[in-house]
C-alpha cells in the first residue's frame, strides 16, 4: 500500500483481499482537520452497505455518513484515538445515501509504511442493525410485565424473563436448565398434559388456565399460551407467554369457566364433576338431598374416528352434548368425563326417575340424526346414591353401563340371527 499525493495505490494482492472481504472497508487519509480525513478507497461491501457509488464516495469525508442521531461522544472519542494513533472500536448510527439509518460497528487501525510513518487509517465496518434490534427486542421482553419463557425440545428452560421468574418465586439461574415440572401443582389431570403435548407435537399452540405452585408452595394462576417454534418443518423449541390470572374478583367467573369447562363440548369437565359430586355427597349427608348418577358411553364411537376422522369425531361429540342439553332438565348437570364418556347428576330425583330418563334418552338417541349419520349408539348406567362408599358407588354405576352395553349387543346379535 502506497499513498502519493493523497492518492492510494494498492498492489493486486491487497486489492483482491479488500474487494473480497465480507466486511465493509475504507481507507482514509491521516489528516483530521477541515474536510479530512478523506476516503481514498472503499470496497464493494462498503458501497453496498451505504448505497453510494465509488465516484460519490472517493475523496469525501466519512462525515457524509453522519447525521442527527450519530453519537457525538463516540465521534469525539474516535478523534482522540486517531490523534494518538491508537486502535479504535465503537458503534454509532450512520446514514445511507437514501437517508435511512443503520447501526455500524467500527474497527479502525493506523497503517504505517516501511519507515514506520503513519500513512493511512484502515476502517473495517459492520452493519449491526439487526443485532442491535435483536438486543433491543430482548431488553423489551425481559422488561415486559407478561411472563415469557423458552424451553427446548426436551422441555427444559433455556430462557425466562424477569416477570416469569418473579411469578414462580425461583431465580432465573434456578430455572434455566430445569423443567417446568417444578411448578406442577397436582391440580391438572394426566389427560390435561396429554392433550397439551398432542397439540404441541402437532405444531399447534396450546392455550389454557394453568394452576401452578411457586417456590414457596403457593398456588398461582396464569392464562398461558404455549407455541411450538418451527424451523424447516421441525420443532426446535417452545415459547410460553403467560398472563397473571389469579383469583381477583373480576376474573373469578372467567376462571371458573376456563377451569371447569370442557373446551370441545362446553359441558362441565371432569374437574367440575369431582367438585360437584363431592358437594352432592355432602348435601346428601347434611341436608338429606337425594341425587342419582347416570354414566353414558357411546357405542361404536371408535369407528367414527377411524373411518371418518377425528374432526368428524369432534363434531359428533359436540352434537351429543347438544342432544343431552336439549333432553334433560336445566336443574340436572351434564359432564364430559373423558373421550366419549358423559356423566349426568340428577338432583332430587323421584322414585325410578333415573331409570325412566335413561330409557327415554336411549330411545330418543337411537332415532336421532346423530345416531343415523354417525352410526353410533348410547348406553346408560344409573344408580341412586344412598350413602355408600363413593368409589363403590362410582364403580357400580359404571358397571351398570357396561352391562347395558353388553345386553344391547346380545339383543342385536339375536335379531341378526332371526
In this structure, what CATH number is given to the domain that contains residue 191? 3.30.450.20
Q: Do 256 and 288 have their domain in common?
A: no
Are 214 and 224 within 8 A, CB to CB? no
Tell me how far apart the alpha carbons of residues 349 and 388 are, in angstroms, rounded to a whole number: 17
Of 168, 164, 174, nearest in space to 143 by CA: 164
Q: Identify the CATH number of the domain in which residue 283 sits.
A: 3.30.70.270
Range of the domain at 167: 144-260
Residue 298, φ and ψ in degrees, nearest 5:
-85, 130
Of 150, 179, 145, nearest in space to 162 by CA: 145
pLDDT for 8: 67
Are 174 and 198 within 8 A, CB to CB? no
Q: Do 155 and 220 have their domain in common?
A: yes
pTM confidence score: 0.47
Q: Do 120 and 10 have their domain in common?
A: yes
Tell me how far apart the alpha carbons of residues 307 and 104 are, in angstroms, rounded to a whole number: 61
Domain final position from 63, 95, 129: 129
Domain final position from 98, 129, 160: 129
Which set of grid coordinates corresponds to residue 79? 478523534
Q: Which helix (DSSP H) or strand (DSSP E) does residue 125 occupy?
A: strand 118-127
Q: Do 110 and 28 have their domain in common?
A: yes
Domain final position from 94, 129, 164: 129
Q: Do 285 and 229 have their domain in common?
A: no
Q: Which helix (DSSP H) or strand (DSSP E) does residue 296 occupy?
A: strand 291-299
pLDDT for 227: 94
Q: Do 330 and 248 have their domain in common?
A: no
Q: Average pLDDT for consecutive 10-residue bins of the chain (418 residues)?
A: 65 73 90 86 93 93 92 91 92 92 91 89 87 66 84 88 92 91 84 86 90 90 90 89 71 67 90 90 90 93 91 94 92 92 87 80 92 93 91 92 85 66
Pairing of strands 377-384, 333-338: unpaired
Q: Do 89 and 189 have their domain in common?
A: no
Q: Do 104 and 192 have their domain in common?
A: no
DSSP-derived 3-state class of residue 331: coil
Tell me how far apart the alpha carbons of residues 216 and 52 are, in angstroms, rounded to a whole number: 61
Amino acid at each position: 500500500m502506497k499513498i502519493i499525493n493523497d492518492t492510494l495505490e494498492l498492489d493486486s494482492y491487497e486489492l483482491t483481499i479488500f474487494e473480497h472481504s465480507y466486511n465493509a472497508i475504507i481507507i482514509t487519509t491521516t489528516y483530521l482537520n477541515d474536510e479530512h480525513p478523506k476516503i481514498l478507497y472503499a470496497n464493494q461491501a462498503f458501497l453496498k452497505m451505504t448505497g453510494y457509488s465509488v465516484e460519490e464516495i472517493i475523496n469525501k469525508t466519512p462525515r457524509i455518513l453522519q447525521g442527527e442521531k450519530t453519537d457525538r461522544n463516540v465521534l469525539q472519542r474516535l478523534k482522540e484515538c486517531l490523534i494518538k494513533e491508537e486502535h479504535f472500536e465503537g458503534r454509532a448510527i450512520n446514514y445511507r445515501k437514501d437517508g435511512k439509518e443503520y447501526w455500524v460497528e467500527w474497527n479502525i487501525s493506523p497503517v504505517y509504511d516501511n519507515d514506520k510513518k503513519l500513512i493511512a487509517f484502515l476502517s473495517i465496518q459492520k452493519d449491526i442493525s439487526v443485532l442491535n434490534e435483536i438486543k433491543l427486542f430482548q431488553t423489551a421482553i425481559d422488561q415486559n410485565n407478561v411472563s415469557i419463557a423458552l424451553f427446548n425440545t426436551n422441555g427444559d428452560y433455556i430462557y425466562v424473563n424477569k416477570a416469569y421468574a418473579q411469578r414462580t418465586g425461583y431465580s432465573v439461574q434456578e430455572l434455566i436448565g430445569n423443567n417446568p415440572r417444578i411448578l406442577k401443582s397436582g391440580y391438572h389431570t394426566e389427560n390435561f398434559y396429554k392433550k397439551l403435548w398432542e397439540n404441541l407435537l402437532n405444531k399447534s399452540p396450546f392455550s389454557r388456565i394453568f394452576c401452578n405452585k411457586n417456590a414457596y408452595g403457593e398456588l398461582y394462576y396464569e392464562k398461558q399460551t404455549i407455541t411450538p417454534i418451527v424451523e424447516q418443518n421441525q420443532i426446535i423449541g417452545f415459547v410460553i407467554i403467560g398472563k397473571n390470572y389469579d383469583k381477583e374478583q373480576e376474573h373469578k367467573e372467567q376462571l371458573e369457566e376456563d377451569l371447569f369447562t370442557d373446551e370441545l363440548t362446553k359441558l362441565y369437565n371432569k374437574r367440575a364433576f369431582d367438585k360437584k359430586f363431592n358437594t352432592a355427597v355432602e348435601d346428601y349427608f347434611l341436608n338429606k338431598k337425594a341425587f342419582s348418577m347416570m354414566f353414558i358411553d357411546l357405542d361404536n364411537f371408535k369407528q367414527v374416528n377411524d373411518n371418518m376422522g377425528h374432526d368428524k369425531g369432534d363434531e359428533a361429540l359436540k352434537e351429543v352434548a347438544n342432544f343431552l342439553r336439549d333432553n334433560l332438565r336445566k336443574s340436572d348437570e351434564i359432564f364430559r368425563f373423558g373421550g366419549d364418556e358423559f356423566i349426568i347428576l340428577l338432583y332430587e330425583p323421584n322414585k325410578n326417575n333415573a331409570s325412566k330418563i335413561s330409557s327415554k334418552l336411549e330411545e330418543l338417541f337411537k332415532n336421532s340424526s346423530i345416531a343415523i349419520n354417525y352410526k353410533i349408539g348410547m348406553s346408560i348406567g344409573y344408580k341412586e346414591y344412598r350413602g355408600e362408599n363413593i368409589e363403590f358407588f362410582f364403580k357400580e354405576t359404571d358397571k351398570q353401563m357396561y352391562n347395558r352395553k353388553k345386553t344391547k349387543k346380545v339383543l342385536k346379535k339375536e335379531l341378526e340371527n332371526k
